[in-house]
Amino acid sequence: MTKENLMREAIRLASENVANGGGPFGAVIADKEGNIVATGVNRVTDSNDPTAHAEVSAIRAATAKLKTFNLQGYSIYSSCEPCPMCLGAIYWARLDKLYYGNSKADAKRIGFDDSFIYEEIQLDPTKRKLPSEILLDKEAIQSFKDWENKTDRIDY
C-alpha cells in the first residue's frame, strides 16, 4: 500500500470508530513495503482506560504480534497528530516515521485539547498543577543500582 492509502486506512478507522461510539482517532502501523502489521482506534470510553488511544493501541497490537518492543523498520499512520502520551510511546517504540492527518489545533477545536500537558511538561515539577513530591528517594535508588549491576539485563 502507498503511504496515502495507509493514511486513508487510519482515517477510515477513525470514522468507523466514531460510528461505533468511540473517539475520532485511528492508527495503522506498517512495514517498509506498506503491509499493515497492526491497527488501533481510540477505546478510552468503552474500556475505561485513559491510555487506550489509537496510537498506543496500535503499538500494543504490533509489539504483541511481532513479539518485540522495538518497532524499528515500521512507520505509524495516525488520523491525528499524537497527544504527548502517544508521541512518547511512538518514540519509545522506536518507530521510523510518523505520518498524521489532523493537527493538534484541529483536535483542540473539537474538544481534544492537550496543550495544557505540553505546557506542564516544561514546568519545574514543583510548579505543575499536579502536586508532586520526592518520597523515599534513598530507598528507591536501590532498584536503579540493581539495574546498573545486572549483567543479563535487556536494555531498551
Percent of the chain at pLDDT exceeding 70: 100
- Cβ pair 118, 84 in contact under 8 A: yes
pTM to 2 decimals? 0.91
Judge whether residue 122 has pLDDT over 90: yes
CA 85 to chain centre: 6
**Taking all residues of the chain, what is their mean pLDDT, rounded to a whole number?**
96
Q: From CA 64, how far away is CA 69, in angstroms rounded?
A: 8
Q: Is 133 a catalytic residue?
A: no
Lowest mean pLDDT among 30-44, 92-106, 117-131: 117-131
In terms of Cβ atoms closer than 10 Å to its own Cβ (0-12, 13-18, 19+), residue 17 is buried
Q: From CA 44, how far away is CA 87, in angstroms rounded?
A: 17
> Which of the following is catalytic: 16, 55, 81, 148?
55
CA distances from 62 to 19, 72, 126 (A): 24, 12, 37
